[in-house]
């Protein structure tokens, strides 16, 4: 395994690893986080939805089935949730996590949290709850084509905690693939803020595919700027970036 460290403009080296393809990216991401789970079974994980982490979740499901990994003592906090969909809605992120991970592993479902309350209303005390659980040990992230992380779109203030956002048209279009049509995509969501994400002790950012290459280039090699929300990760003391060759294609060799 070859780690490339680059000194980003944020002055803290990000650990960047480039894998050949999505499958090997998923394998590597799964083992990087599984290592932490094995070291600390009471781990608090920050979870992400979207297409990118699905491969990593599949690897974990197999590892749990084979008896090599357990989430029995783990706690999870998802990054974000749509507003206006209840938890049983097949397009809610709660449902996504249930289908892609939770129902296949040995996690205690009462220890899996989302930033909405029992009435599906925004849960603004999310960051306090995370701190009560002694903070997120490992936050998993995907990245949007415009450099967003969670639902923190370009221009977002780096200092915000969990908050409600109106989704941009580009994000609604990108997420329309999970719905029958773009009209069905909710207009609002609640997301951990960039400060919530930066409070995690460790961050693992995943990106696959050429359509993420510009976002990765701008976020990793450019200035730290609200224009590219993920660029704040250059200032995180423990951030690992796992890419496939396509997503890394614009980075300097
Ligand atoms: P994706 O989404 O994993 O489906 O590409 C990532 C994101 O928009 O944050």
Return mean pLDDT, the chain: 93
Segment 35-59 mean pLDDT = 98
Residue of 51, 93, 242 to test ligand 1 pocket, by largest number of atoms within 8 Å of CB: 51
Neighbours of 86 (CB within 10 A): 12
Q: Which ligand 1 atom is nearest residue 171's CA?
A: 8
Give the residue from 207, 203, 201, 171 showing the smallest Cα distance to 186: 171
110 backbone φψ class: left, alpha, beta (φ>0; ψ -120 to 50): alpha
| Ligand 1 centre distance from Cα of residue 137 (Å) | 21
User: Which is more confident, 76 or 177?
Assistant: 76
Report how far Cα 160 is from the mean position of its chain's Cα atoms: 17
Pocket around ligand 1 at a 6 A CB cut-off: 50-52, 142-144, 148
From the CA of 151, how far away is ligand 1's center (Å)?
10
The mean pLDDT of 67-74, rounded to a whole number, is 98
Average pLDDT over residues 25-49: 98
Which among 205, 211, 208 has a CA at the least distance from the CA of 8?
205
pTM: 0.94
Which residues are known to be catalytic? Answer: 80, 146, 148, 153
Is residue 83 scored above 90 in pLDDT? yes
How far, in Å, is the centroid of ligand 1 from the Cα of 80? 12
- Rounded CA-CA distance 65/6 in Å is 37
Q: For 15-24, how does the pLDDT look when each residue is reduced to its tens digit (9 = 90+)? A: 999 999 999 9
What confidence tier does 110 reach under pLDDT thresholds 50, 70, 90? very high
Shortest-distance atom of ligand 1 to CA 149: 9
When pLDDT is cut at 50, 70 and 90, the band that residue 12 belongs to is: low
Compute how many other C-beta atoms are within 10 angstroms of the C-beta atom of residue 74: 20
What are the phi and psi torsion angles at 165 (to 5°)? -130, 150
Over residues 131-159, mean pLDDT: 96
Q: Provide the token pair at 171.
A: 């994000």
With a cut of 60, say whether residue 9 has pLDDT above it. no
pLDDT beyond 90 at 2 = no
- Decide if pLDDT at 239 tops 80: yes
């Amino acid at each position: 395994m070859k780690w490339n460290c680059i000194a980003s403009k944020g002055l803290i080296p990000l650990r960047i690893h480039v894998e050949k393809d999505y499958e090997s990216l998923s394998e590597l991401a799964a083992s990087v986080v599984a290592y932490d789970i094995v070291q600390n079974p009471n781990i608090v994980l920050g979870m992400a939805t979207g297409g990118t982490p699905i491969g990593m979740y599949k690897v974990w499901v197999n590892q749990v089935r084979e008896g090599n990994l357990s989430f029995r003592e783990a706690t999870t906090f998802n990054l974000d949730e749509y507003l206006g969909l209840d938890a049983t809605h097949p397009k809610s992120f709660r449902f996504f996590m249930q289908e892609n991970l939770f129902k296949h592993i040995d996690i205690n479902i009462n220890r899996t949290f989302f930033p909405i309350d029992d009435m599906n209303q925004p849960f603004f005390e999310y960051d306090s709850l995370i701190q009560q659980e002694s903070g997120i040990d490992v936050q998993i992230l995907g990245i949007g084509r415009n450099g967003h992380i969670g639902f923190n779109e370009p221009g977002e203030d780096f200092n915000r905690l969990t908050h409600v956002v109106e989704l941009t048209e580009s994000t609604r279009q990108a997420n329309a693939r999970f719905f029958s049509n773009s009209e069905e995509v909710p207009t609002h969501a609640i997301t951990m803020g960039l400060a919530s994400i930066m409070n995690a002790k460790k961050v693992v950012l995943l990106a696959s595919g050429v359509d993420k290459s510009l976002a990765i280039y701008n976020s990793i090699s450019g200035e730290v700027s609200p224009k590219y929300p993920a660029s704040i990760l250059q200032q995180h003391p423990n951030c690992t970036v796992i890419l496939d060759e396509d997503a890394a294609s614009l980075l300097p060799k």
